[in-house]
Structure 1
């Protein structure tokens, strides 16, 4: 029953799963539900909700047509691994970095990678403000993704330092995305970014008002960004 439900939800988006991928997603679900009993990973614990609102919703990033085989991708503020881990399962050639400020969540994601047999994943416990200044990570990524972390002006300062010039930041946003883009006009200018596209996506009848805000990096980020931890939130650009 579960494999059929999973395949059905994915196929509505045009994503066909191999038997290996079905097994990996079911393992991910099982670990998510089990670990969630002891720590706060998700408020959604039914299978259909997990498949639709977490797994399939994560894969909508691929509808941007910007993520290519072999790309280096960082998921900033990954939480329980969304959208980075489902992207890795579906497109295993991606070199994925999962960054989160809570070590418990990073430990959970390492367990998922171990149990599903995924490799080429870099796990970072830390703040985007700190690692965005680290030359081992700064401007090293083709794609940055992020979901439900902060409003766009804050998010841009967190994420843009990781992007290579010419790379894309894909932010998963709700119905207020146009409002957020307006608020982010100064941040876009200061951080050398431009909005390339806003793409409306739907994973199910229940999941509406989901948008991909696709932002291109047109020049290097000034070294004064990101500012020290806490500053981007307290005083957005």
Structure 2
């Protein structure tokens, strides 16, 4: 081979490598579009013409590629449906960075795992879906949007609690011109009672937990459809054991997405008719959870943390008195009751080993349930959970050795300056200690506060320590989410123009006994330790609680309670004078 031939071969090899790299980039679904993308496609086209036929580039991702995948999987759609699906795909690409919609970026994987897998559900069910069908935790609209495109006559309800994704879903529905589809911009809790004929979900939540969540709304004969991975047998077993009174396993279909290695399971539970309430039967006794790897236990344990409470929108309530009040006054919030291992064998040998108590028989549990202080009808509206002593002790952070209640946390809306109460006190708090949050909410409710604004710094009011400090009062107060205490001055100025005063607690303020409270006002406390930002100390009316010399300050929640008491005392005194006159 002469020098000229060698150079030609080297140049050809270099061109082939460059084209291969371009092919890899082109297969990515999230490539920039517009002029830059067009230039790249033109360059790839020129490179492809330089290659032998065996090395020619595959066609770039587009509507024809989407059609080929569906035809290959024996899922033919109409031209209109293909166009709608391609339009949805482009919206998903375009909005992904802004709304955090999917972690799957490669075109073929998006088609396989998002679109084909969703529509395969309809094919496996002979293209007949229950309607209305609730997509629980729909996220970016999966599987509901592809299913709606494939089955336009089915009515869908898309449930999603994350606001960005809710905005995206509205954009999709409008852009695609979809009808008979509703966006429910909230998490679906056990209190959701709208009658539905079906539920479908791809979420990783345990099957038993989802069945409990939709029990109130899913009509008898309705289906709960779960799109699961191949290793879901423990979940199915747990659901059959714990929910057999309300559901039966209708179908369990194992399948593989065509022309891929991806294995799937389609699991369907049918809702049974409610049975009359009777004394606990052996079949109603919940199974004992003994493994820390159990999905239900991991879900419950996460509710001990602020992150878990926020993610799930659920919380744990400790203490039999508080639990009794919550189950009596807020039954729709109750999701489940964790039984106490220590109480299961009450009246038996007190020194029995924990491992032996874990094995308490059904008759012992029946007697235990019959001693529950609430009416049995109320207690049985929620699923029951039994844990081994070892697992229960990991949850019982207060050492109550009593039942633990799982509740849905009511949503908290964002505070708007034009939504102030017509009269009275609105409390604004940034307390970071959950016990202080609970204590101050209890005091606020006692002294007639109508609403509490939780600033960005504030702990979650549904933290176990907050609920423990406040009792059932935590569920009786109205809340709003506010900005950081460092950022509230513009909003304070806005409400002041409406005749709403601001009174701030600070050691440098005037004696609280010497001031007059406005008819409408915000009472603001500072963060534990640092107190108020300097700007608020000088720009608002500050008051102090007189104390003996030598004491630095009062506990934050105690200071607020005293201030509220003083406001209430003066309000009653003013009312008495008005009546006499």
| Fold conserved between structures, TM > 0.5 | yes
Q: Could you say which residue in structure 1 is the equivalent of 2:243? A: 188
Q: Given the superposition, is the C-alpha separation of residues 147 and 70 from structure 1 closer, same or farther in structure 2, using an over 3 Å criterion?
A: closer
Map of 2:364 onto structure 1:
none
Structure-2 residue corresponding to 1:22: 82
The one of 259, 268, 282 equivalent to 1:214 is 268
| 2:408 is aligned with 1:229 | yes
Deviation at 1:206, TM superposition (A): 3.3
Instruction: Give the SS at the match of 2:216.
Output: helix
What's the CA shift for 1:14? Answer: 2.9
After superposition, the CA RMSD in angstroms is 2.3
* Separation in 1, partners of 2:73, 2:255: 9
Equivalence for 1:171: 226
The SS at the match of 2:266 is: strand
Q: For this pair of structures, how many residues does the alignment match?
A: 224
Aligned counterparts of 1:212 and 1:18: Cα–Cα separation in 2: 25
After superposing on structure 2, the runs of 4+ consecutive aligned residues of structure 1 that deviate more than 4 Å are none
CA contact under 8 A between 1:60 and 1:201: conserved in structure 2? no
Deviation string for 1:107-149 (max 9, x for gaps)?
Answer: 10111111111111111111211xx4244x1xx2222100024
- Residue by residue over 1:22-47, the C-alpha shift from the partner in whole angstroms, topping out at 9 and shown as x without a partner, is 11111111111111112321111222
How far is 1:216 from its partner?
Answer: 0.6
Residue in structure 2 matched with residue 133 of structure 1 by the alignment: 191
Q: Cα distance, 1:74 vs. partner?
A: 0.6
State the secondary structure of the residue aligned to 1:38.
helix
* Structure-2 residue corresponding to 1:235: none
Partner of 1:109: 169
Name 1:153's counterpart in structure 2. 208
- 1:209 and 1:160 mapped to 2: Cα distance? 29
- Asked if the contact 1:77/1:146 (under 8 Å) is kept, the reply is yes
- Distance 1:117-1:193 versus aligned 2 partners, 3 A rule: same
Could you state the TM-score of these two structures normalised by the residue count of structure 1?
A: 0.85
Contact persistence 1:161–1:225 (CA under 8 A): no
Equivalent positions of 1:8-87 (< 5 A) are 8-65=68-125, 68=128, 71-87=131-147
Relative contact order higher in (CA < 8 Å, ≥ 6 apart):
1
Say which one has the larger Rg: 2
- Gaps spanning 5+ residues in structure 1: where? 231-237
Quote how far apart the aligned CAs of 1:207 are: 4.5
Aligned residue for 2:180?
A: 120
Residues of 2 paired with 1:67 and 1:40: CA distance? 31
- The gaps in structure 2 that reach 5 residues or longer are 1-60, 278-331, 333-380, 384-405, 410-581
Matches of 2:242 and 2:166, distance apart in 1? 29
- Which stretch of the first structure deviates more once superposed, 212-221 or 90-99? 212-221
